[in-house]
Amino acid sequence: MSGLIGKKIGMTSIFDESGKNLPCTVIKAGPCVVTQIKSKETDGYDSVQLGFTDKNDKHVNNAESGHFKKANTAPKKNLTEFKGFEEELKIGDKLTVDHFEEGEYVDVSGLSKGRGFQGVVKRHGFAGVGQATHGQHNRLRAPGSIGAASYPARVFKGMKMAGRMGNEKITIQNLKVLKVVKEKNLLVLKGSVPGHKNSILVIRK
């Protein structure tokens, strides 16, 4: 589906017509530049590549430099392909937050906050083993048994254990567009989206 690349500004709350206080996320959506248009004839499928946020020239290699010169735009840090744009686009076109309308619903994808290495209580919601007393001193947040001994004599794949938590791609679906601030390219969505402040998001219709 069509959409834009954006940056998470932060969260706030606004009141709707009935006086209800709604938690919402503010996103700077665009301006995005069309850096490439793919077609079935040349690439095997139809899509539009958009670029967002300028990149320092010293971090751009020759291949990237040529790619952005074709689009007649400055090198971009973030590139994402979108399928299903209704309007006809040309290389170099700029897309702004006008692409969205108040009241419609969007899907937002991004990387969740990284939590580092975590135990099973925080990572999977385990209750911990046993009680705090009865001679125990280090079993409160332990996972307990992870498998039987003689059979199957191994640990099954996918066993919930301690490990790295967060920093995964997450998509939140059906978030309502509460406001579109065209002068500042801001999009106000109902609810929360993945990632920390200033993280890059992909907003799809």
SS3 at position 66: helix
Mean pLDDT over 77-88 rounds to 85
Contact 47, 1 (CB under 8 A): no
| Per-residue confidence (pLDDT) for residue 138, from 0 to 100 | 82
Domain boundaries, the chain: 3-114+170-204, 115-165
Sign, Cα dihedral of 175, 181, 184, 185 = positive
Q: Which residue has the higher pLDDT, 52 or 134?
A: 52
Residue listed under structure tokens 């010169």: 69
| Per-residue confidence (pLDDT) for residue 133, from 0 to 100 | 80
| Per-residue confidence (pLDDT) for residue 58, from 0 to 100 | 87
pTM: 0.84
Mean pLDDT over 29-39 rounds to 89
Q: Which residues of 107-141 are buried (b: 16+ CB within 10 A; e: fewer)?
A: ebbbbbeeeeeebbeebeebeeeeeeeeeeeeeee
Written as six digits, the tokens of 124 are 């999977």
* Residue 177: pLDDT over 90: yes
* Residue 1: pLDDT over 70: no
> What CATH number labels 3-114+170-204?
2.40.30.10
Contact 190, 22 (CB under 8 A): yes
The gap from C-alpha 35 to its chain's centroid, in whole angstroms, comes to 21
Rounded CA-CA distance 180/186 in Å is 6
Q: Where are the beta strands (DSSP E) in the chain?
A: 3-15, 21-29, 32-38, 47-54, 76-82, 94-95, 105-111, 116-118, 163-165, 169-181, 186-190, 200-204
Give the strand order in the sheet containing 94-95: 76-82, 47-54, 32-38, 94-95
Q: Which residues of 22-31 are buried (b: 16+ CB within 10 A; e: fewer)?
A: eebbbbbbbb
Sign, Cα dihedral of 84, 90, 95, 98 = negative
